[in-house]
Chain A
Amino acid sequence: MNKNHYDAIVVGAGPAGSVAALTLAKNNLSVALLERGKFPGSKNMFGGTIYRETTEKIFPAFWHDAPVERAVVRDEAWFMEEDSVVNMGFNGLRFAKEPYNKFTVLRAKFDKWMAEQARKAGVHLICGTLVRHVKYKGKKAIGVVLDDGSELGADAVVLAEGVTSLLTKEAKLRQDYTPHQLTLYAQEIMELDSKIIEERFNLEKDQGAIIGMLGYPTAGAIGKAGIWTNKNTLSMIAGGYLWDLMQKGLSPDLLLQRTKQHPLVKRLIQGAKVVQYKAHMIPKGGYKALPKLCSDGIVVVGDAAGMISGRRGTDLAMLTGQFGAQAIVQAKAKGDFTAKTLAAYANKVNRSFFLKDMKAGEQTVEYYHKNPDADYLLSKTLNDLGYAYFSEGLVTSREKTQLITNTILSEQPLAKTLFDLYNGYKYWEAF
């Protein structure tokens, strides 16, 4: 079965890799998709949700066929303190029907499904195979070296290897990461009867909710937690910036255990049985830390290319996978796989909406590094206000207003609170 030369080899069968492989195969290129896990999705983690609009561009009407869990109708942000929560959210029942907005999925099922679509389109999917090195002739990539020492040749190599991206680093397309450019999250997937999920989260059948949490979960570290409802499981994550975890001697799994103990979280997950633990990093270096997206015979896509903007990642992985593949299709037509031709990919990314977002969000990283306590202070202020506002005391309205004003001012200067509130909203983006 194994050929030893392909038009293109794609390293990694996650969202970026499977979409790249599918796009190449649809354009009649011969493609090998190499996955180091036993099956696609077996090494992957996210919150999470996939976005309908992006996913549909690649897999039309995918929700009829793909293993989606629930259509998300509610998004909530919880600002948490020891025994209280200030809750901001949106319920949109329009999102419960076609064309939908986003879906919760489980990666071990969904990534497998995406890779299967690529396989059906003619991609040669090979699992349980690790690419150790890219092989070069001069400066041009001409194939890959597998961990058993064997080689596969190709005109172009797509690096869709995920955040750890050792090949991208080896190809000198990116600098070494620093702990300031990475976040580290732990996840538990917990089994719970679908009827109980619907009751507790106030959902109808097949409807889903997401709760993003900040403040209490990370105990003063910069980070977030969150819960996603699947069909008969809950996905829960917690974590934060690597440098901050290191400095405070914290681990993401301890933050997760801490969050699970919060009295208002506990009742949501009561009786749920943990069936899966995971941990994973997110490349959070932002625009400045982006690697070079192409070189002679190579394009880098997805997490390996640092394609994270706010909460969005899987959809940008799909888009960059598609863009990268399109550039290779053009290169094939021209018979020229040099960086100059493949730069069409980098140009397309540079013009994209998500790169504009990443540029605009450039202060995020800086903001959190300068204000590591921002989420915590914001959460504390909001919860103190909540108690002040809703407490029924024996004072006049005027006195109560004064009390609330004092609450705000006692934490920190008003201007900083307003600034934190604005930024907390603007930069609320961990997943």
Chain B
Amino acid sequence: MEKYAAYDPLDNLLIDVDDKPHIYIIKQTTCGNKCPDHSCTNFCPSRVFSWEGGKLAVDYTRCVECGACQYSCIHKNIHWEYPRGGFGVVYLY
């Protein structure tokens, strides 16, 4: 699957980013100590999450609001809510 790594789904997406984040990690130490897989960095369809320098980094500006992360984090460690009205992803098709 690695051969698709250069592809970025956000190339074909309009997101009107809110200045207020709508996703955050509740407790960073949980990601470091209790979660060896960091599966959120894999299944997220717009690659919001990445493991960088011993921390789980969250780039909420990439979010397409599928909502999967809050239900798939086995430690319930991802807080996710909708961006404010009118902000976030705008599908044109």
Contact = CB atoms under 8 A, between A and B. Distances in A.
B71 A182 contact: yes
Contact of B64 (A37, A147, A246, A279): A279
Looking at chain A, what size class is its interface with the partner chain? 35 or more
A253 interface: yes
Contacts of B85: 36, 128-130, 146-147
Contact of A254 (B1, B46, B86): B1
Contact of A277 (B9, B42, B81): B9
A184 B4 contact: no
Contacts of A251: 42-45, 47
B66 A280 contact: yes
**Majority-rule SS of B interface residues:** loop
A53 B64 CA distance: 32
Given A36-B86, A178-B71, A182-B68, A108 B91 contact: yes
A184 B13 contact: no
A275 B4 CA distance: 18
B71 A246 contact: no
Contact of B66 (A41, A177, A279): A279
B29 interface: no
Contact of A42 (B44, B71, B91): B91
B66 A277 contact: no
Contacts of A245: 42-43
Contacts of B9: 186, 253, 277, 279
B27 interface: no
B53 to A, nearest CB: 21
A373 B93 CA distance: 34
Interface in B37-93: 37, 39, 42-47, 64-68, 71-72, 81-86, 88-93
Given A276-B13, A279-B64, A257 B7 contact: yes
Interface string B11-28: 111001000000000000
Interface footprint category on B = 35 or more
A281 B86 contact: no
Interface in A219-247: 219, 233, 242-243, 245-246
Nearest to B1: A254
Contacts of B83: 130
A38 interface: yes
A221 to B, nearest CB: 11
A108 B93 contact: yes
A278 to B, nearest CB: 6
Nearest to A186: B45
A153 B75 CA distance: 37
8 contacts: A41-B91, A130-B83, A182-B71, A184-B43, A233-B93, A246-B42, A258-B1, A276-B13
Given A38-B16, A184-B43, A281-B68, 12 more contacts: A42-B91, A129-B86, A163-B67, A219-B1, A242-B68, A245-B43, A246-B72, A249-B37, A257-B4, A276-B13, A277-B46, A279-B66
